[in-house]
Amino acid sequence: MLIAHLSDPHIRPRGELYQGLVDSNAMFDAAVHHLNALDPAPDLVIVTGDIVDRGTAAEYEQARTALRSIRQPVLLLPGNHDDRDAFRTAFADHSYLPSTGPLHFAVGDKGPLRILGLDVTIPGEHHGDATKEACAWLAARLSEEPERPTLVMLHQPPLESGIACIDAYNCRNGKGLAAVLAAHPQVERLLCGHVHRFMLARFAGTVLVTAPSTTTAIALRLAPDAAPASYVEPPAFLLHRWQEGAGLVTHLVPVGNFPGPLPFF
């Protein structure tokens, strides 16, 4: 099973730029074009939040247009730039999304891996929170199929990256989330976005990875007093490959055209 993992496209209304400077819509379209050229093709596509930039109806209309080019089933999770109610309205045809409350979901019919989405966003805030209610929902879902390999999606990672400006807005109550995950060893990956960079860490007995944004990258500035900044680095997404007996391998897929193929390896 192959799962393409995109994040943080920050889609804007048609003709408008992200932060007034960057064409995030064109960059997301390029990522989808690259994804559609993969051979073999992914079985499933997931997007871990910040589908749009300001949560407006015009942005979600544009997002639906962009997502229509993806040939595979798509699972969407909101981020801090999304509006939960507008998200729910825009993607009402995504039957896995609940009709009320946080947008948690459980999907088990797309292949051997089960996918759980945990909505840790807080309306009006940029940080996330793995609340007691969210952790209880996750524990209940994981208890349903304890032997089945599972991926858990959330937007804000529940740890510090070392980039101070974004760590101020991570997912709070990481200890509570860690306690749930540690009790359920079937979780193969904790899949996040939010930091606009690729990051990998051990977390609660599993592996946490963040997918880079399909638009700008938050500057890798690890000094505690570093000024916040972003760069237009080469965008990328992740490809998670599951094979029975071998487990899950995660690849970083740069988006674009590069010199090659060259006759060596």
Q: What is the pLDDT of residues 91-100, one digit of tens each?
A: 999 999 999 9
DSSP 8-state class, residue 226: P
pLDDT, mean of residues 173-191: 98
Which CATH code of 3.60.21.10, 1.10.10.10, 3.90.1150.50, 3.40.50.300 fits the domain covering 2-254? 3.60.21.10
Do residues 210 and 195 touch, judged by C-beta distance below 8 A? yes
What gap in Å lies between CA 131 and CA 128, rounded to an integer? 9
Residue-level pLDDT at 197: 98
Nearest in space to 192 (alpha carbons), one of 175, 207, 172, 176: 207
The angle subtended at Cα 80 by Cα 16 and Cα 185, nearest 5°, is: 130
pLDDT, mean of residues 163-188: 97
Residue-level pLDDT at 186: 98
pLDDT, mean of residues 165-171: 97
DSSP 8-state class, residue 211: P
Strand pairing of 217-218 and 230-231?
antiparallel
* pLDDT classification of 189: cutoffs 50, 70, 90: very high
| CA dihedral over 64, 154, 256, 241, signed as positive or negative | negative
* pLDDT classification of 193: cutoffs 50, 70, 90: very high
CA-to-CA separations, 154 to 9, 33, 115, 158, 249, in angstroms, rounded = 15, 25, 11, 9, 19
Q: Rounded to an integer, what is the distance from CA 62 to the centroid of its chain? A: 19
Nearest in space to 156 (alpha carbons), one of 98, 106, 211: 211
The angle subtended at Cα 8 by Cα 176 and Cα 177, nearest 5°, is: 5
What residues contact 44, with CB distance under 8 A and at least 6 apart? 1, 2, 3, 4, 72, 73, 74, 75, 110, 111, 115
CA-to-CA separations, 55 to 26, 64, 68, 86, 163, in angstroms, rounded = 19, 13, 19, 7, 25
Do residues 118 and 156 touch, judged by C-beta distance below 8 A? no
Backbone angles phi, psi at 140, to 5 degrees: -65, -45
Angle between helices 24-36 and 57-67 (to 10 degrees): 20
* pLDDT classification of 67: cutoffs 50, 70, 90: very high
Considering only the C-alpha atoms of the chain, give the largest distance between any 2 of them, rounded to a whole number of Å: 55
Do residues 135 and 176 touch, judged by C-beta distance below 8 A? yes
pLDDT, mean of residues 136-149: 98
* pLDDT classification of 207: cutoffs 50, 70, 90: very high
Report residue 140 as tokens: 């209940």
Q: Rounded to an integer, what is the distance from CA 9 to the centroid of its chain? A: 10
User: In sequence order, what are the beta bridge partners of 210?
Assistant: 192, 199
